Structure 1
Amino acid sequence: MNAWLSLSLAILAEVIATSALKASDSFSRLLPSVMVIAGYGVAFYCLSLALKNMSLGIAYAVWSGAGTALIALIGVVVYRQKLDVAAILGIGLIVAGVLVLNVFSKSAAH
């Protein structure tokens, strides 16, 4: 499987798992709790596949940065959480960093 595809699946699974973590209510609700465990399992497996053909630093930076931005968006849309200007600016910088890594970095392959 392509490293970037594996990394994208890892990000998607991690975002689903983290969203379910809030819904699990401290693991007191069964279905969201199962989604957390399965989601993180899939996320780390897909991340391990990506690391076969991608440098650790780049993969982790993209994984954590994209995941952080997507979780913040889910917090706003699903959980009606508010972001102040500093939070929006910070998330924008994270997204910009991920874009710079994807578009300009030659360090992605190892």
Structure 2
Amino acid sequence: MGYLLLAGAIAVEVAATTAMKYSDGFSRLVPSLLTVLGYVVSFTLLAQTLRTVSIGTAYAIWAGVGTAAIAAIGIVFLGDGLTLAKAGGIALIIVGVVVLNLGGAH
């Protein structure tokens, strides 16, 4: 159940960060509200995750997968460029999360 909550926390955090892009520096009401609400929900889900998943593992996965997902959304939907360095960084994040989980993370 902990990892399901963590997946929800990541999904909501990614949605909130995407909404932040459209908030225009928090000058647009609806995207700003979605950003704030999304972060509250994401942190709540992350806090629930910590009941069964270690903090180091949960936070590393939450931050790493969220970062990789936002980078991919930026590239695919928002016109961010894809450089070799950016692709390598995303790959390293993914590999790091996999190694963390294979290495006996609890």
State the TM-score, normalizing by the size of structure 1: 0.92
Once the 2 structures are TM-superposed, how far is the Cα of residue 107 of structure 1 from its aligned partner? 2.6
Q: Percent identity?
A: 47
1:25 equivalent to 2:4? Answer: no
Tell me the matched-pair count: 106
Alpha-carbon RMSD across the aligned residues, in angstroms, is 0.9
Determine the C-alpha separation between the residues in 1 that align with 2:38 and 2:96.
25
Tell me the equivalent position of 2:105: 107
Tell me the equivalent position of 1:78: 77
Tell me the equivalent position of 2:10: 11
Determine the C-alpha separation between the residues in 2 that align with 1:11 and 1:105.
21
Determine the C-alpha separation between the residues in 1 that align with 2:103 and 2:45.
22
Amino acid paired to 2:41? V
Once the 2 structures are TM-superposed, how far is the Cα of residue 105 of structure 1 from its aligned partner? 2.7
Amino acid paired to 1:74? I
Determine the C-alpha separation between the residues in 2 that align with 1:89 and 1:20.
26
Give unmatched runs, 5+ long, in structure 1: none
State the TM-score, normalizing by the size of structure 2: 0.96
Give unmatched runs, 5+ long, in structure 2: none
Deviations 1:59-81 (A, max 9, x none): 00000000000000110122111
